Structure 1
């Protein structure tokens, strides 16, 4: 048994702590916020996420609050026509071994938090932000902002997009600002007209914008997210915006998505950021996981899914490890994960440009291509991402610089 320090108590950090504890290790989670909580609204979970959750022992609890959608639907946001739909019902579930679902972020975070609180050997410390770390041949020490020092045999940086651990380990500066602004709102279901309560993840694509909506929290709310390619260059996190402001940024939408947008009352704004993939996020007894290792735009709906995969693989590679075996275990974890996560990062970028925000001739070419795809074709496109159970596959090839579109 070794003592692991985990910086960050979000979805990735708690999943990592739970995985390590299930493999016999002692874990201390160092969370910068004053309480363990998850901000945000809806999140999509592919079959790969449910496989990871089952391995971690919380799949049933997450399923209890999930909405199992029938299809991923891509619509023309200006004409209202259907472009393509990926069926997610029985045939899809048989092929990939699990369903596709949407949840409120808290309905994923809370089961992980409860499992960590109940797990033997997991200590959860809130209000404990990691400022720096140092390591030697036998261990690693994390120093927090309040001056306390925590010692262990390994440190996992699961502290998000602006990871303090990554800043020292990789040293690649601030995140990359994508130039895309997203507006999010959550609507109680009793305010949504019955004819708009679709059991789908529906995305309306327009020139330099898109709008996605789906039910969350067991169907009690409708999650709305509208994204604009506006060239934004300064990071923004959760800034309130008036309803009129948001509606004014999306003129020319078809009446149906417009009706849905008009339901939003309390909107918040984010400017989306990610980072370039790196092949190496491990140094000795220190490694990264989740958004600290491979932050990605939301367009492939895989950020949380890949963090859950990280947790499973890290636990497997440290199963039964002694203190001396930690560096080699972390290196194996890095080797298994970096190609797959890099491909997912690049895919997410390409989907925003080529699939969701295309205009003019590029949009017409996209529409023509999508209409030729069969159900089998669509399932094949997502197979490497949704169907892998080893969590190492990158399509048997290097992560491409121009990955092909895949259904969201």
Structure 2
């Protein structure tokens, strides 16, 4: 059968790869080219399980940086609060590494996989604005009036999804009130003593700063966020360096030194949505940010989309699309199996900002005490539900350390 996918981002391309093993897929991308905006992205073991299942795990690993630890710092005092090692014991427990990549590198890996798959057709300049369906088929309609008909439609068109607008009808995304500034700089500009192979978080009162290497270690990704009550949507607007530096006067010396390296800053106001239990309507369903957009603080947005893709491909594998209700039932099952986990990730992402990254005063001191008393095994226990999930079976049965390129 033929499956339509609205949106050619990470989730849409991953879904195309998953479904194309058994069916024809048509991907409808609104822009005039297939590409991905953004900078660094974190991939937990659950993401690598999914990438393995999609057949692109090895290619993704070649672009990744395998960090040694997740490090949590008090951003005002410079105190090292907690550290979760990500090397052999972690990989043994979770069956895959934790890595950071440039978002564009991950995207290109998925795009190359789609381009090599004869069952996938990629269309640009096709912005899906609505759909029509009957018991036998569904039709995606673009802003220029083009019509594409298939047995199912997957809305993978992002946080402002037009497919979701028709299916759920819950209006605009929730503006979080948090502004994030991002910069990517050449690693050669970073003093050698600060070229840490870690994902480091500096937490302060109503702000936090994250940095890690990307691009096979050639660049340093900087992302600094302030809970400033912003109410207007901003997407990738250039920001003056002096403004960014002035927003974080409380930074400790080392964090300040790293922040001052940033250049060509851009800013976003972060948005998400409340979880909704139903994102399937007959032959139409949602995936990734269209279904369960979340703040970045759990570093799981792309990971959840990859998991979605694996499951929907598996459930549709032997569907015949002949109008007997088989496809709608399978999409309902996909929705039911993904809802609890995705909703928990959405809410935990919010809670991390409130309870871990942005407290001040006594609340920050209590947070530091709590985190500093956790053993490594207890830290692993905390992330087990996220990092330990295996939506897709890994392609290699050998010990996880051998899975690195």
- TM-score, length basis structure 1: 0.95
1:157 maps to 2:155 = yes
Distance 1:388 1:161 in 2: 24
Question: Are the aligned partners of 2:49 and 2:391 in contact in 1 as well (CA < 8 Å)?
Answer: no
Q: Who is 1:376 aligned against?
A: 377
**Aligned partner of residue 270 in structure 1, secondary structure:** strand
2:364 is matched with: 363
Structure 2 portions without partners, runs of 5+: 393-405
Q: Find 2:220's aligned residue among 219, 222, 244.
A: 222
Cα deviation digits, residues 104-153 of structure 1 (max 9, x gap): 00111001101111112100001110011111100000111111100001
Question: 1:35: how far off?
Answer: 0.2
Aligned equivalent of 1:236:
234
Runs of at least 4 residues off by over 6 Å: none
Matches within 5 A, 1:93-172: 93-172=91-170
Cα deviation 1:159-208 (Å, max 9, x = unaligned): 00000000000000000000000000000111111111100000000000
Question: How many residues were matched structurally?
Answer: 389
User: What are the superposed Cα offsets for residues 10-65 of structure 1, whole Å, 9 maximum, x if unpaired?
Assistant: 0000000110002x110000000100000000000000000000000000001001
Q: Distance in 2 between matches of 1:371 and 1:203?
A: 14
Bigger relative CO (Cα 8 Å, ≥ 6 apart): 2
Residue 74 of structure 2, aligned match among 76, 82, 89: 76
Provide the rounded CA distance (Å) in 1 between the counterparts of 2:117 and 2:329.
26
Judge conservation of contact 2:53–2:310 (CA < 8 Å) in 1: yes
* SS of aligned partner of 1:310: helix
Could you say which residue in structure 2 is the equivalent of 1:255?
Answer: 253
How many angstroms apart in 2 are the aligned matches of 1:104 and 1:368?
33
User: For residues 5-404 of structure 1, what are the structure 2 equivalents within 5 Å?
Assistant: 5-22=4-21, 24-323=22-321, 324=324, 325-390=326-391
CA distance in 2, matches of 1:112, 1:102: 16
How large is the Cα RMSD of the aligned pairs? 0.7
Rounded Cα–Cα distance in structure 2 between residues aligned with 1:329 and 1:174: 28
Check the 8 A contact 2:310/2:391 in 1, yes or no: no
- Distance in structure 2 (CA, Å) of the matches to 1:385 and 1:58: 21
Q: In the alignment, is the contact (CA less than 8 A) between 2:297 and 2:353 conserved in 1?
A: yes
Distance in structure 1 (CA, Å) of the matches to 2:147 and 2:389: 39
Could you say what secondary structure the match of 2:275 adopts? Answer: coil
Q: Which moved more, 1:221-230 or 1:115-124?
A: 115-124
CA contact (8 A) 2:17 2:54 kept: yes
Per-residue displacement from partner, 1:336-381 (whole Å, max 9, x unpaired)?
Answer: 1000000000000000010000111111111111111000000000
Q: Please, which runs of 5 or more residues in structure 1 have no aligned partner?
A: 392-408
SS for the counterpart of 1:28 is strand
| Kept after mapping to 1: 8 A contact 2:198/2:212 | yes
Superposed CA offset, 1:215-237 (max 9, x none): 00100100000000000011100
Name the SS for the 1:86 alignment partner: strand
What secondary structure sits across from 1:219 in the alignment?
Answer: coil
Q: Equivalent residue of 2:188, what SS?
A: helix
- Secondary structure of the equivalent of 1:338? helix
Deviation at 1:72, TM superposition (A): 0.4
Other-structure match for 1:396: none
TM-score by length of 2: 0.95
